[in-house]
Amino acid sequence: MSIKDKLIEDIQSHNARVGIIGLGYVGLPLVLGFGEEGFSVIGFDVDPQKVSKLNAGESYIQHIPASRVQALIKEKRFEATRDFRRLAEADCIIICVPTPLTAKKDPDLQYIEKTADSVLQTLRKGQIISLESTTYPGTTEEILLERFRTTGLEVGKDYFLVFSPEREDPGNPKFSTRTIPKIVGGMTPDCLEVGKTLYGQVIDRVVAVSSTRTAELVKLLENIYRCVNIALVNELKLLTDRMGIDIWEVIDAAATKPFGYTPFYPGPGLGGHCIPIDPFYLSWKAKEYDFSTRFIHLAGEVNTSIPYYVVDRIAAALNDHSKSIRGSRILILGVAYKKDVDDVRESPALEIMELLQHKGAELSYSDPYIPHLHKMRAYDFSHMRSVELTEQLVGQFDLVLIATDHTTMNYQWIVDHAHLVVDTRNATRMVSRGREKIYRA
């Protein structure tokens, strides 16, 4: 029996051991998916707190109940570790590490590179390695394959290498890891066959593409599509503000067309780990081909400008009441990057807070999903904790900014007790009283 056939047989019988590197919003759902299908799973992460919590049966992601982690621990189907030497124990290795940008908007590949070096130390015959981290076309070849060649092992024969982009949407109840179709591209046809077999155990539909480069670009296209269309409605928001037209009413009316139109909605800026970051991976790579991705750059310019526009609207609202930003007390409602999640990655609320802080505002925030903030690459609000909304508290602020429209918040109550409200999410659309207090942004 060939190495490929043996690995496929072990995967199909669920005797293969799965190792997942990176136990965040992408990696942890995969741990649960494989573990609940009967696989033995090892989770790898450099964060000691994550490892300790998981081994204690705790979950640090709001939409993942601890009971699911506890069940796998009890059945001895899962353990977390910081010991990357144990990658040798895994037959199937899935890489789910971050791919951020540098301050100059260039790809920061250090996490993929360090992970590839770790895998290299223990790479053996009969393993499949799948990269899920979003990145530019060619990464799997240029970073992983090039390193693995130094072992003398032959890809597609001794071991197998695929790229399969993550498609997680945290907090979306309509879709799960199992029900979201999975793209897989292999370095060779045999790599693709093993990759399809692996993901086919836990995903309802696996979509094969011709290469890892194609699979890498699929993910970028998905997010560039959203980035460009969000930039379009954000730009129209700026225009309709000057024209005295309600952009939200325009979008809702256009959305009644049953064909040829998909609604996108404006906001305070782009958030999340994907849409604000991924397009720049392609624009960076395009330079190698002497090509300028003008739509991506233009969309980036528009979306980057929106937090500044929000601050201008705050200044205008305060000015109408003979106040300035400096010295004003401002309450930020919602710091997560989108509603009903506990994820602050690239949240536009943080950029707005930074801008307001530089202008001398006194800031507080309230978010039921984010009890406290921690230090991040670009921001440090680690001294701040979420405040509990009370009538007395809300009334103490000069202005309330709705940055994230969590469904648990009572927006009529907020308007009733606030002096001024700047709404970036159309969250107050159903408010019947106090509309004179509300400014759209």
Contact 265, 251 (CB under 8 A): yes
Closest CA to 13 of 241, 291, 201, 225: 201
Which residue is listed with tokens 């929000």?
A: 310
Write down the catalytic residue from 96, 191, 227, 274.
Answer: 274
Contact 183, 43 (CB under 8 A): no
CA 412 to chain centre: 30
* CA distance linking residue 364 with residue 348, whole number of Å: 16
191 counts as catalytic: no
DSSP 435: G
Three-state secondary structure call for residue 161: strand
Handedness of CA 295, 136, 114, 200 (dihedral sign): positive
Closest CA to 24 of 121, 208, 168: 168
- Taking the alpha carbons at both ends of the chain, their separation in whole angstroms is 64
Alpha helices in 20-164 (DSSP H): 27-36, 48-55, 66-74, 110-122, 139, 146-148
Contact 112, 139 (CB under 8 A): yes
Sequence-distant (≥ 6) Cβ neighbours of residue 399 within 8 angstroms: 314, 317, 318, 328, 329, 330, 331, 418, 419, 420, 421, 422
Tokens at 278, concatenated: 């991924």
For Cα atoms 173, 175, 178, give the angle at the middle one, nearest 5 degrees: 130
* CA distance linking residue 426 with residue 439, whole number of Å: 10
For Cα atoms 290, 294, 299, give the angle at the middle one, nearest 5 degrees: 145
Sequence-distant (≥ 6) Cβ neighbours of residue 337 within 8 angstroms: 271, 272, 343, 344, 345, 346, 347, 348, 349, 404
The DSSP string of 325-338 is STT-EEEEE--SSS
- For the annotated catalytic residues, the residue numbers are 274
